[in-house]
Structure 1
Amino acid sequence: MPDTYSLISPAPTTNMQPGSPLILGIMASGSGSNFEAVAIAIENGDLHAKVAVLIHNKPDIQAIDRAQKRGIPTVFLDHLNYATRAELDRAIVATFQTYQVECVVMAGWMRVITQVLIDAFPDRLINIHPSLLPSFPGIHAIEQALAAKVKITGCTVHLVSLEVDAGPILVQAAVPVLPNDTSETLHARVQIQEHLILPQAIELLAQKINTDRISL
């Protein structure tokens, strides 16, 4: 287990008791397939957590339907209504605090975040990225891998830092790049692994956070 887990500190927004499920806030901008993978892991008993709320910044995305069919509240925060990224992040933090969120998961959130959000959830803000970081950070990671003609790529769950896709790595999974791969076929195989490692990373955080609760 990497040393990054020692960085995790008690969340300032809640007083959850030892053994309670980890309260998650999810951020999504698209289909929400990674969000649904987390929800399914919870339903199957593989992840000791509860999704309290889904925040989305685009209307009419599939992630909303995935949440609503599970009775999970959704909150629309249109980034176009905020003058700065920091203002949007303050609204995100306020929403998560209302729902007593302990850990935030960026599951396909297509906006650069600021120190406002990072400071509100120190070492409890995680992101999933479709490459083996530190290779191919930023947008179009699948296309970057294909252009570089690598034989192996994959996906990474990491703690979020101010620098894009540069925070401490929690879990990774490797995916071979096949000779006839397109961005669509490779993305589909990478996404399968994303759906596996994201709940695993959250469960590791949940175990550490529960230990912190007991020690308080």
Structure 2
Amino acid sequence: MEKHELKPARVVILISGGGTNLQTIIDQQEAGKLPITICAVISNRDDVQGIQRAQKHNIPVIVLEHNQFPSRESFDGRLQDIIDSQNPDIVVLAGFMRILTPDFTRHYEGKMINIHPSLLPHYQGLHTHRRVLEAGDLKHGATVHFVTAQLDGGPAIIQSSIEVEKSDSEESLKEKVLRQEHKIFPLAIRWLAEKRVVMREEKAFLDGEELAVGGVQFDKNEI
């Protein structure tokens, strides 16, 4: 019997900045490592490098500036309309610096993922590198997780850890964590596109197995 191949997943990517994770996703898609089609890149700022990265690869870009809307709800409502017009299978937050409303996150529950620069559930929110240094932690890292109404609180899919050295600064930690982000973000997107990872009842499952609180540990598994 002939094996039926999955159609490439339709992906919309949201950004607010330089777009290094966006670039990694584009590169892996163009190299045939990700079974996806990037339908659109949406930015809430018109002056960021991520826009140029998308345009260089002929990916449609939509700029929706949040400061042009009277409320968070009105911005999210318009953003939702734009995303839905692309009929995406997956919505990727790649450095999208907005707190999203509960109605918006519920609308995309199970198909929207984010990457966060900490070993969640530790250090939700901003300034994670500074907080790790202030706490004297020996480990730091990045987590890809499903997005829910709880800020950085959705179930984790995959994490990657780094050692924190005495010589580390916020900037050096940022660079080291970003390198890990570039490894695990495309992998999580591939799992989602291949329907290997799903979210059910506020929990993440990979190949039918419920994942632990931190998700798959990239630094402890051969993937």
Give the alignment's TM-score, normalised by structure 1. Answer: 0.86
The CA deviation at 1:119 is 2.5
CA displacement, residues 35-56 of structure 1 (integer Å, 9 cap, x when unaligned): 1111111111111111110110
Task: Report whether the alignment pairs 1:29 with 2:16.
Answer: yes
Query: Who is 1:150 aligned against?
Result: 137
Match of 2:55 among 46, 68, 74: 68
Task: Report whether the alignment pairs 1:91 with 2:65.
Answer: no
CA displacement, residues 22-42 of structure 1 (integer Å, 9 cap, x when unaligned): 111111100011111111111
Query: Who is 1:186 aligned against?
Result: 173
**8 Å Cα contact 2:106-2:148 kept in structure 1:** no
CA displacement, residues 152-210 of structure 1 (integer Å, 9 cap, x when unaligned): 11000000111111100001000111110011111101000001100000111111179
Name the CA distance, whole Å, in 2 between partners of 1:116 and 1:41.
Answer: 32
Match of 2:119 among 116, 132, 137: 132
The structure whose residues are more often strand, as a share, is 2
Match of 1:168 among 155, 176, 179: 155
Q: Letter of the 2:90 partner, please give it.
A: C
Q: Letter of the 2:87 partner, please give it.
A: Q
Q: Letter of the 1:155 partner, please give it.
A: A
Name the CA distance, whole Å, in 2 between partners of 1:100 and 1:160.
Answer: 18
Q: Letter of the 2:107 partner, please give it.
A: A
Query: Who is 1:119 aligned against?
Result: 106
Give the alignment's TM-score, normalised by structure 2. Answer: 0.84
**8 Å Cα contact 1:19-1:210 kept in structure 2:** no
Q: Letter of the 1:202 partner, please give it.
A: I
The structure whose residues are more often helix, as a share, is 1
Name the CA distance, whole Å, in 1 between partners of 2:187 and 2:27.
Answer: 12
Q: Letter of the 1:184 partner, please give it.
A: E
Larger RCO, structures 1/2 (Cα 8 Å, 6+ apart): 1
Paired residues, number: 195
Greater displacement, 189-198 / 84-93: 84-93
The CA deviation at 1:137 is 0.7
Query: Who is 2:44 aligned against?
Result: 57
Name the CA distance, whole Å, in 2 between partners of 1:66 and 1:137.
Answer: 28
Query: Who is 2:87 aligned against?
Result: 100
Q: Letter of the 1:186 partner, please give it.
A: L
Which runs of 5 or more residues in structure 1 are unaligned? Answer: 1-16, 212-216
**8 Å Cα contact 2:109-2:147 kept in structure 1:** no
**8 Å Cα contact 1:67-1:74 kept in structure 2:** yes
Name the CA distance, whole Å, in 1 between partners of 2:34 and 2:156.
Answer: 19
Task: Report whether the alignment pairs 1:20 with 2:12.
Answer: no
